[in-house]
């Protein structure tokens, strides 16, 4: 017998901590963004004005799936609408059901949403990985009378890591391949010391995050171009610094942090702030000293990370969905992303949005 439990208060989710952690471990290609500590962190800093709607799928008395959702107001070309969506907000490239039964989770969640009163204009599941979803979200909606439209979303740029670093280099242009090798030689000649902070969870031995290391990276970011950035997305910006810091602590405790540093003459010259899980590394933020250009710290950092990740047995390095022109020389694959939308027929604004989306994406709309 199946049952859907909806939780609207973040503090009430503590009762399901064990089940959440168990299901994350069962989720293929899970990320830090699908953990309960991340959702709690996200809600602490960005939950204002939104309604939490976490759907827990209980089958025969056991929690077998979780679908975290958030109801939030958004300004669109059609006007201000209320959207029910995943709580990722663009912090990562992909999101989806948690657990080993995504089909059942989506099916039962959509069944539940189709019969309760609607307080939203549009159900918009974004950041869907089509390789993992395989049409599940769209089919689950349609099974319960929620007509849907599948549209493209922001792609992410990745490096599928081969077995050896030489194999990776062989896929790069001769000029860039020579540049990478030259930079790595300079790394040795200049005695640049690389370190990768990737603590592992051990039973009965909780991880104590390296707060001093993180603060050193923030200080570097503040002293670099990031200190003057107005985007509000850097680890040193007033509006997001506390969020990134808490993510570092929580990911460290879960054994999902991956912080790489380069030091020259005992001085930090570059850092790369990432998350990792199940062999996948998700690049989040990178920074380097502006007065070390002769060392090419950006190229040095990327080359070292790729080589070290291959030696560690990682399988993928995700560089994120932005700045394609910068990442083009490094990546070997672009992964598409989708959104699956259902527009409430009771909402005039949703109808206008549906028509607008259909017209814009009429050659790809499903």
Instruction: pLDDT band for 47, please (50, 70, 90 cuts).
Output: very high
Say which range, 22-36, 103-117, 254-268, 317-331, has the weakest mean pLDDT: 317-331
Instruction: pLDDT band for 362, please (50, 70, 90 cuts).
Output: confident
pLDDT for 119 equals 96
Instruction: pLDDT band for 12, please (50, 70, 90 cuts).
Output: very high
Backbone torsions φ then ψ of 242, nearest 5 degrees: -65, -35
pLDDT for 204 equals 84
pLDDT for 366 equals 52
Complete edge-to-edge strand list for the sheet that includes strand 122-128: 2-7, 51-59, 62-76, 79-85, 122-128, 338-343, 149-152
* 72 closest CA partner among 46, 44, 98: 46
pLDDT for 315 equals 97
pLDDT for 55 equals 98
pLDDT, one tens digit per residue, over 76-115 is 888 999 999 999 999 999 999 999 999 999 999 999 999 9
The residues near 275 (Cβ < 8 Å, ≥ 6 apart) are 31, 32, 251, 256, 257, 258, 281, 282, 284
pLDDT, one tens digit per residue, over 53-75 is 999 999 999 999 999 999 999 99
pLDDT for 234 equals 86
The better pLDDT of the pair 130, 233 is held by 130
Mean pLDDT taken over the chain? 94
Percent of the chain with pLDDT over 90: 86
* 54 closest CA partner among 42, 289, 255: 42
- Please classify residue 346 by burial: count the beta carbons closer than 10 Å to its beta carbon, then call 0-12 exposed, 13-18 middle and 19+ buried: exposed
* 96 closest CA partner among 4, 23, 8, 17: 23
């Amino acid at each position: 017998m199946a049952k859907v439990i909806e939780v609207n208060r973040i503090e009430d989710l503590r009762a399901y901590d064990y089940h959440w952690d168990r299901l994350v471990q069962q989720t293929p290609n899970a990320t830090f963004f699908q953990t309960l500590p991340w959702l709690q962190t996200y809600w602490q800093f960005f939950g204002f004005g939104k309604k939490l709607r976490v759907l827990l799928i209980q089958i025969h008395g056991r929690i077998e799936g979780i679908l975290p959702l958030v109801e939030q107001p958004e300004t669109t070309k059609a006007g201000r609408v209320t959207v029910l969506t995943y709580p990722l907000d663009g912090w990562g490239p992909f999101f989806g059901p948690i657990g080993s039964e995504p089909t059942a989770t989506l099916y039962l969640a959509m069944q539940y949403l189709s019969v309760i009163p609607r307080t939203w204009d549009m159900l918009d599941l974004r950041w869907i990985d089509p390789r993992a979803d395989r049409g599940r979200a769209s089919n689950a909606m349609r099974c319960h009378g929620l007509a849907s439209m599948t549209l493209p979303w922001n792609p992410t740029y990745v490096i599928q890591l081969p077995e050896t670093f030489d194999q990776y280099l062989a896929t790069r242009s001769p000029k860039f391949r020579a540049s990478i090798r030259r930079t790595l030689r300079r790394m040795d000649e200049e005695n640049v010391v690389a370190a990768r902070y990737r603590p592992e969870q051990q039973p009965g031995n909780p991880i104590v995050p390296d707060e001093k290391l993180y603060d050193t990276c923030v200080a570097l970011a503040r002293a670099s171009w990031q200190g003057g950035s107005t985007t509000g997305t850097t680890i040193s910006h007033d509006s997001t610094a506390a969020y990134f810091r808490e993510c570092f602590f929580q990911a460290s405790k879960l054994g999902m942090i991956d912080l790489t540093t380069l030091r020259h003459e005992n001085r930090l010259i570059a850092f790369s702030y990432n998350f990792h899980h199940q062999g996948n590394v998700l690049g989040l933020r990178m920074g380097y000293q502006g007065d070390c250009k002769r060392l090419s710290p950006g190229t040095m950092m990327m080359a070292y990370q790729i080589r070290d990740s291959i030696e560690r047995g990682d399988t993928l390095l995700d560089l994120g969905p932005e700045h394609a022109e910068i990442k083009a020389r490094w990546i070997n694959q672009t992964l598409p992303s989708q959104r699956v939308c259902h527009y409430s027929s009771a909402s005039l604004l949703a109808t206008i949005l549906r028509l607008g989306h259909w017209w814009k994406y009429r050659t790809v709309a499903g």
